[in-house]
Structure 1
């Protein structure tokens, strides 16, 4: 990630997850205990009941009930040898999300509290936090050192920064020493995850909410927010401001608090989310029920208003191209389908006419429910939502008149992902030695014959040094890096 952006923080009402940050920029162990107090003990059944009573759900995007995850891991452990693990997903694979980064930078002990509480209930020996930022890694390692011996192994692992790193099987594959790519198999981490044992996998905010609820108890936790969705929610607004708000707050008020408004529309849920029209954004509340009624979902909590002075079609095309480059490269819908969607979308907004828009619809449908992970579906649905929300914009561009506005980059992307370097294979020289995949497993995949599966592969910034080493180690001199 270029520049490692640090979010500004805000609250609606009294903070819970962000409590104490008015006194210090980062809560060390002493400040954390002063603010929150000691963590109580919970028996396994009590922790499940707590999660169920407050309707705690995963805050990484899917919103799966946390109590069901706990029960599933317990059930798998009983069916096996009893071993379990806990994994905290501290990666946020897209630039629109910074809430978990904010928690890990400013209140890391709250996250560790929740993870260790769950580990105690599951009798897990290992707690592993997977992150993608160096500053977050440093903050967590410092927090682990501040706690001293915890009775359980707490590890912090740095993974590659890519969009699919947060997918559960990709994340666990990376922690297990393999490529950080989705497995493509329908294997639940609750059955087989870290080191092959049943694993409780959830994101940073979920564990922080669990730690707050364990201290407050279900009744006091439910005193804030909606009766049907109690507690607070962390949002990232416009890619730069993290806000903690009670559920049920008006979206328009959150935008106003952050110095903005619905503009031409609001993307909710990140780059795999849905667009709200300005009218719907003004009517929306921060809750599952409200957003469901409007055809959207909160997902990982990203809220991105589109200003009036930028081109919606161009912004959507820019993000679609980035999503295509973030492909895991494991299946046809990702490798070929997403670039094809980006190409046809570019053609359409450059005046490709009605045939280009019709072809775009066909390309979007062609990738649905065919990918090794949900990335093709999410990308296709993002474009489809934009076409429904800005129909006149896309029609005018396709017919040649356009909107006359520049593309300002209002939807945040990592700066150095606009023109990433690529690793190129010279097929006239390659002899299939396979050393490149040993050095660069997150970039290079081999086909059944032992040769690189692709001739051109994106090299994330964090992988550049390994890519250079792969080029130097190739005995056939068949690799090179191109800007």
Structure 2
């Protein structure tokens, strides 16, 4: 690891550092520093490890919050029934632009994550450990170096996945490990059942990187010491990614149930016009609700929010909430794989409506169409992407309703879009309409209905339209058959 540059997210903590212990003195804990910081990991057999996870109600930290013990028992039941050893998978493919906690863990304390995976692999008799990381992320360098330093209970390998939002979805990750396209499976299949849903059809226990690190901490501390912080229902600490406009995000460790206000204060932030909790599959909170919001799953649900993967973004008062939301909506629509109706039609239609709203070109009917499209997107998708996106966008329309009204009744709120909501560097393709050539023929909307919507006078409603990979065929048809040669397909990145 010497002389190898790594992108190392900065960390802070409220209270006692657990997951972040040792990072006040070192940028990264190699195996020697890790063993000096944490006591030896006590061995646990199968029943002891399951009992520990159940006693602490340990849940997944990747967003869904599924109980770890229930998932492990289902995996082991399949393994016992089929006589097949399970596979342990660490999900470190963090495609959420507003989240950096898993990047931090894999870059700075990789052995804590591997401790949890190795503990389970040993107790459950696993055949293999697989660590999924984002391509070009710190984990691509840090994890193989950590694996080479330590003894392992079974073979282990790192798999690099493309930097896409849906790459961290469990089904997409397993497909990538199996050498298939990294996209959610068209038909949902449980990894614990093996067959089509597992690594090489084996029963597979997959959890987020933070979940494995929490398991390692719990095994060292024991249930009583582990539960000495946090809430009774959700003991321990959580990792939060707090995004700061104009600079890098901070990863903050805090006891579960900590109020959001002190976390923002520690990062030098104000609630502004609103606070997004849970990232782009999360929900917006009004400033006065955000300050006292308890950072726990049950506490946020009571406020209509969700903890998700713990990504937090504040929206300053000097930017346009509608324009900011429209930019993210367009990106989320292109990040889908277009395999099911909610993504293929609902998200793209909602993104187009929000783009029109941001420019003051939308009436009440367009807004109602957007709400309808998002309502449809909340059920029946192949994965959680349409549901999470709909939650994010619908909460924005609710929390920023005054700004929405200003855009419906006139030119808008008068504030420019500063681009404070984090998004990756623009890449991929986009359609561009040349207004000097466009005659309002409308053929483009017939050939590419998922991309182009027409306004009341028959012209496309947007001059620049992001194009997802699955939409490129329709985009090329629109370009090739436009009678006025008014549509171009441009590639970026």
The TM-score bracket by the shorter chain reads: 0.7 to 0.9
Spell out, residue by residue over 1:170-217, the C-alpha distance to the aligned partner (whole angstroms, 9 max, x if none). Answer: 100000000001112231111121110111010000000000111111
**3-state SS of paired residue (1:40):** coil
Aligned to 2:446: none
Pair 1:210 & 2:215 matched? yes
Runs (5+) with no aligned partner, structure 1: 424-442, 446-451, 458-479
Distance 2:406 2:474 in 1: 37
Q: Please list the CA deviations of residues 248-269 of structure 1 after superposition, one character each: whole Å capped at 9, or x if unmatched.
A: 2110000010110111111111
1:366 and 2:376 correspond = yes
**1:395 lines up with 2:402 in the alignment:** no
- Among 67, 70, 77, the alignment partner of 1:68 is 70
1:274 pairs with 2:277: no
Distance 1:289-1:408 versus aligned 2 partners, 3 A rule: same
Alpha-carbon offset, residue 455 of structure 1: 4.1
Check the 8 A contact 1:252/1:282 in 2, yes or no. yes
Which residue does 1:465 correspond to in 2? Answer: none
Alignment-derived partner of residue 334 in structure 2: 325
The 8 Å contact of residues 20 and 27 in structure 1, kept in 2 or not, is answered as yes
State which of 271, 286, 294 in structure 1 corresponds to 2:295. 286
Q: How far apart, CA to CA, are the structure 2 residues paired with 1:172 and 1:98?
A: 21
1:106 equivalenced with 2:108 (yes/no):
yes
**Higher mean displacement: 95-104 or 363-372:** 363-372
Alignment partners' CA distance in 2, 1:5 and 1:348? 37
Please give the alpha-carbon distance, in whole angstroms, between the structure 2 residues aligned to 1:125 and 1:456.
45
Q: Distance in 1 between matches of 2:267 and 2:162?
A: 31
Aligned to 1:254: 263
Distance across 2 between alignment mates of 1:14 and 1:374: 34
Distance in 1 (CA, whole Å) between partners of 2:328 and 2:72 is 36
1:453 CA drift (Å): 8.8
Instruction: Quote how far apart the aligned CAs of 1:82 are.
Output: 2.8
Asked whether the 8 Å contact 2:118–2:153 carries over to 1, the reply is: no
Q: Is the 2:342–2:379 contact (alpha carbons within 8 Å) kept by the matching residues of 1?
A: no
- Structure 1 equivalent of residue 429 of structure 2: 421
Looking at structure 1, the residues matched to 388 and 306 of structure 2 have their Cα atoms a distance apart, in angstroms, of 13
Q: Distance in 1 between matches of 2:380 and 2:60?
A: 25
1:37 positional shift: 2.0
Instruction: Answer whether contact 1:350 1:398 (CA < 8 A) is retained.
Output: no
- 8 A Cα contact 1:236 1:303, kept in partner: yes
* Whole-Å separation in 2 of the counterparts to 1:60 and 1:335: 25
The answer to whether the 8 A contact 2:122-2:153 is kept is no
1:482–1:297 distance in 2 versus 1, CA, 3 Å? closer
Matching residue of 1:168: 170
**How far did residue 323 of structure 1 move?**
0.1
Given candidates 228, 232, 236, the residue that maps to 2:237 is: 232
Distance in 1 (alpha carbons) for counterparts of 2:168 and 2:139: 15
Gaps of 5+ in 2: 432-467, 477-488
Q: Is residue 57 of structure 1 aligned with residue 59 of structure 2?
A: yes
Question: What TM-score do you get using the length of structure 1 for normalisation?
Answer: 0.86
Partner-residue secondary structure (3-state), 2:421: coil
TM-score (norm: length of structure 2): 0.84
Match of 2:189 in 1: 187
1:157 to partner: Cα distance: 0.8
1:31, 1:4 → 2: CA distance?
A: 18
Whole-angstrom distance in 2 between the partners of 1:414 and 1:284: 28
Taking a change above 3 Å as real, the CA distance of residues 272 and 81 of structure 1, as seen in their structure-2 partners, is same
Distance 1:69 1:383 in 2: 30
Q: How does 1:14-163 map to 2 (within 5 A)?
A: 14-134=16-136, 135-147=138-150, 149-163=151-165
Distance 1:5 1:364, change over 3 A: farther
In structure 1, C-alpha distance between the alignment counterparts of 2:220 and 2:387, rounded to whole Å:
39
Residue 301 of structure 1 deviates from its aligned partner by 0.5
**Which of 361, 366, 373 is the aligned partner of 1:356?**
366
Partner of 1:463: none
Note if contact 1:349-1:398 (Cα within 8 Å) is conserved in structure 2.
no
Deviation at 1:348, TM superposition (A): 2.2
Greater displacement, 34-43 / 4-13:
4-13
1:262/1:5 CA distance change after superposition, 3 Å: farther
Pairing 1:425-436 to 2, within 5 Å after superposition: none
Partner of 1:301: 310
Structure 1 distance, partners of 2:204, 2:430, is 35
